A = this chain, B = another copy of it.
Amino acid sequence: MKIIDGGVTAAKGFLAAGLAAGIKKGNTKDMALVYSEKPCVAAGTFTTNVVKAAPVKWDQHIVYDEPTAQAIVCNSGVANACTGEEGYSYCKETAKIAAEELKISENAVLVASTGVIGKQLPMDLMGQGVRNLVPLLSPTLEAGALAAQSIMTTDTISKEVAVTLEMGGKTVTLGGMCKGSGMIHPNMCTMLGFVTTDAAISKEMLQKALSEVVKDSFNMISVDGDTSTNDTVLLLANGLAGNPEVTEENEDYKAFLEALMYVNTCLAKKIAGDGEGATALFEVKVIGAESKEQAVTLSKSIVTSSLTKAAIYGHDANWGRILCAMGYSGAQFDPEKVDLFFESAAGKIKIIENGVATDYSEDTATKILSEKEVTAIADVKMGDAEATAWGCDLTYDYIKINADYRS
């Protein structure tokens, strides 16, 4: 696997465009179109929120019931959530306009929205936006980058990644973009991810790969159930790489899964690290767990603890907050068996051994916690399961009261 430049247009046959359609104020880019020259098999994972936005319902229908898809229309500014029948009709209308312009079926057009909940889409602007996007479609990396910028809401940076890998002697490309900000809580804003690939793979195996990978990537920056009304990850595969079609869990599937894991994890980490003013990506590994589920519960509880995140910002080895977050997670473990480490480019240090502070150097701990990427590793010594979760530090003034609490 090789990391390359680009995003959704990196794979063969994928074009993209982005522009300001007037949905957001101030000529800000707010619509993106992704299109494949060839029909794609499509996979998707969607929000588990009881309240599902109209575009989620539309896309579920396409992904679950249709054999192929060929385009994604995404807007920012208005989420088209809690909009009833009218909102759903606008998904269909958007797909219809895109289908006419692209000369494909409306049932091959996926839609996604992010922004304010409860407001109807301005269909005149949406329709004109789609019509203006189609002539702009381009296979260049720049076009992919424009699309990535157009789906941003509170994001401070656009988020793209692409890789190549070998499958059956052919070079296959995977590229993606996403939006979402890890600022406060993952539930604070919609997470949208779009990944394209020229791999030849069956619809069944594509969905299997995506479902497998989302669990350990995007879902690890999100608290259980704390998904927005719009959260969506879509994966399109058009087969143009010419590799033998993957229809079972063979070596090619494993290589594809590994590359997809890298792409999704990379995108998820970009979301986690994109806190307004965040100074560090905060990674939490729980090892020695009894089960994967326990490791997930513990790592997510730590990474979403505001007190812990404030301590990371303060470069303060306030390990008590980590033990506390583990304690209220709902997972059972023996606090008096826990070892805790901090690790970064500056080194690794053991802070707690069997639940009690080691004689560690606060200076060394502060140095390790002052890096741009900081990892906490908790060993609960119960088994072999592990999980990794991602977040960011909390750097805002109002947090200082906690970051400085100990000094």
Determine how close the nearest CB of chain B comes to the CB of A184; give it in whole angstroms. 5
Interface 0/1 of A145-188, CB less than 8 Å to B: 00000000110000000000000000000000000000111011
**Complex CA distance for A356 and B229, rounded to whole angstroms:** 15
Do A117 and B405 touch across chains, with their CB atoms under 8 A apart?
A: no
Determine how close the nearest CB of chain B comes to the CB of A387; give it in whole angstroms. 18
**Complex CA distance for A49 and B305, rounded to whole angstroms:** 14
**Complex CA distance for A163 and B71, rounded to whole angstroms:** 67
Do A49 and B324 touch across chains, with their CB atoms under 8 A apart?
A: yes
Tell whether A397 is near chain B: CB-to-CB under 8 Å.
yes
Do A320 and B79 touch across chains, with their CB atoms under 8 A apart?
A: yes
Interface 0/1 of A369-407, CB less than 8 Å to B: 000000000000000000000000000111001100110
Which residue of B227, B324, B397, B401 is within 8 Å of A51 (Cβ)?
B324
Do A187 and B117 touch across chains, with their CB atoms under 8 A apart?
A: no
Tell whether A100 is near chain B: CB-to-CB under 8 Å.
no
Tell whether A335 is near chain B: CB-to-CB under 8 Å.
yes
Which residue of B81, B330, B402 is within 8 Å of A324 (Cβ)?
B81
Tell whether A225 is near chain B: CB-to-CB under 8 Å.
yes
Contacts of A48 in B (CB 8 A): 328
Tell whether A349 is near chain B: CB-to-CB under 8 Å.
no
Determine how close the nearest CB of chain B comes to the CB of A129; give it in whole angstroms. 20
Which residue of B81, B117, B277, B326 is within 8 Å of A398 (Cβ)?
B277
Contacts of A397 in B (CB 8 A): 396-398
Which residue of B119, B226, B324, B398 is within 8 Å of A229 (Cβ)?
B324
Nearest neighbor of A81 in chain B, beta-carbon distance = B320
Determine how close the nearest CB of chain B comes to the CB of A116; give it in whole angstroms. 5
Tell whether A82 is near chain B: CB-to-CB under 8 Å.
yes
Determine how close the nearest CB of chain B comes to the CB of A326; give it in whole angstroms. 7
For this complex, 16 residue pairs linking A to B, each with C-beta atoms less than 8 Å apart, are A48-B328, A49-B328, A50-B326, A50-B335, A82-B319, A84-B355, A118-B357, A153-B405, A154-B401, A185-B306, A187-B305, A187-B307, A188-B307, A188-B402, A225-B328, A227-B328
List A residues at the B interface (Cβ < 8 Å).
48-51, 79, 81-82, 84, 116-119, 153-154, 183-185, 187-188, 225-229, 276-277, 305-307, 318-321, 323-333, 335-336, 355-357, 396-398, 401-402, 405-406
